Structure 1
């Protein structure tokens, strides 16, 4: 699932493509909806996106927001979605339901006869969660309206108060977009490993030193990932993310810090990874219902 660093990388990449310095910004020519379930709004016509040039490309939590014309095109890539850019789209419309492409955005070609640029939103697998919204204002998207402070913007004191007021596990808190925006399953694993904390630790039971460690780890991991994503093309962002992971999706491999075997806890539709030596004092976590190892 794309998280803050990858979505920030996509926003930076698209901003350079759509709003290059010294050149008039591009204008959306057409939006083709190939999977009708992907479009979650109907109040604002797609044509509103073409009434003016692109005015902004920003990240909001894990949402990607393109301001264009009199509307905003807001995208959430969910678990298996991705954005695929093309400097030369083939002419002609696509047939709905014939491939992984859920939506295509074409930008108006210049007067110099250059090929038409654009991007596709694709989604792998059978569970369709990719979501696209066309709205007048970003806060009209329910997920954006519920967002908590961005993980890299929250102050130390506010972070400590957030933890103290949360009775659940710290892993769940880090993933809760209404509490802290931008972090998902992968980077929460990485942050907790860097902070040397169990994913099952209770947020309101952390002592001040652990809170400071967690805050520092959150910035360390995310700052490094955002810096790594900067300047990369959209096609390279997923590989960059995978290569940077120390424990997430590394089950059975050696922890790069201590050499212990990275372990996994599986749930109905997801899993987490951790290092017993670094995070749980050598204890193995059975599952979230039965484990009692909270430190």
Structure 2
């Protein structure tokens, strides 16, 4: 799933290419992806892009006259950029393409989604806060105002596992399964640890790991075209997706715990005092 660093990479890429451009075409190929009906998708045609912004894991392409195209790539979605938009006709149900947008210089992009479980979401709104997922977002962890004290107040007294808290978009926006693994590895904390049981020194260590991990990932994504972002993310991982490999910090074997349709990865030596975690947790324990 694309998370904040990759989404920010997409935002930066798009901003350099579509800002000031006029939308020439906007076609939905998967009706399930379109979550709004007023304004209609074709209301974007003829409008000029004024800005591209990120809200958690959502991308907003804002028009200068009050409309925005907002999309969330979900677990299996991605953006495919075309310097020259293909002239081929998109056939609904026979293509991974959910949305195709073209601009007045002939360029454009497709939003695609792999697999059978379709969760990619597209909205056309007058205000990004009209998208329920954006309205519920917690603070951005890289915002200047997201201070050490703000973070400490945010997590104080919560009887929640740290892994689940980091992934909860209503508490902190933009972090998903992969970067929560990386943050916890950097902080030397078990994913099952209860946030409310951590002392201030541990909370400070978690805050530092969160900010440093995400800032480094955003920097690594900066300036890359969409086609390179997924591989750059994989290369930057220390534990996530690396079960069976050696921890780059201590050399212990990275382990996995599977839950629902995901897994978490961790290093026993770095995070759990050398003890492997029991792989029998129900998915509800990590939500």
- Decide which of 107, 130, 139 is 1:117's aligned counterpart: 107
- Decide which of 110, 114, 119 is 1:129's aligned counterpart: 119
Cα distance in 2 for partners of 1:271, 1:136 equals: 37
Contact 1:86/1:119, CA 8 A, preserved across alignment: yes
- Decide which of 209, 222, 225 is 2:214's aligned counterpart: 222
The secondary structure found in structure 2 opposite 1:284 is: coil
Cα distance in 1 for partners of 2:25, 2:86 equals: 14
Aligned to 1:63: 58
Cα distance in 2 for partners of 1:80, 1:47 equals: 25
Cα distance in 2 for partners of 1:119, 1:89 equals: 7
2:25 corresponds to 1:30? yes
RMSD, matched Cα: 1.2
Contact 2:66/2:127, CA 8 A, preserved across alignment: no
Contact 1:66/1:73, CA 8 A, preserved across alignment: yes
Aligned to 2:162: 170
Count the aligned residue pairs.
Answer: 279
Aligned to 1:85: 81
After TM superposition, give the deviation of residue 93 of structure 1 in Å: 3.1
Aligned to 1:107: 103
After TM superposition, give the deviation of residue 261 of structure 1 in Å: 0.4
Cα distance in 1 for partners of 2:281, 2:261 equals: 15
Report 1:1-295 matches (<5 A). Answer: 1-19=1-19, 25-68=20-63, 69-109=65-105, 116-153=106-143, 154-287=146-279, 289=281
The secondary structure found in structure 2 opposite 1:15 is: helix
Cα distance in 2 for partners of 1:51, 1:139 equals: 23
Contact 1:75/1:132, CA 8 A, preserved across alignment: yes
The secondary structure found in structure 1 opposite 2:175 is: coil
Unaligned runs of 5+ in 2: 283-287
After TM superposition, give the deviation of residue 165 of structure 1 in Å: 3.1
Contact 1:255/1:262, CA 8 A, preserved across alignment: yes
Instruction: Give TM-score scaled by structure 1 length.
Output: 0.92
Cα distance in 2 for partners of 1:128, 1:159 equals: 34
After TM superposition, give the deviation of residue 92 of structure 1 in Å: 4.7
Unaligned runs of 5+ in 1: 20-24, 110-115, 291-295
Instruction: Give TM-score scaled by structure 2 length.
Output: 0.95
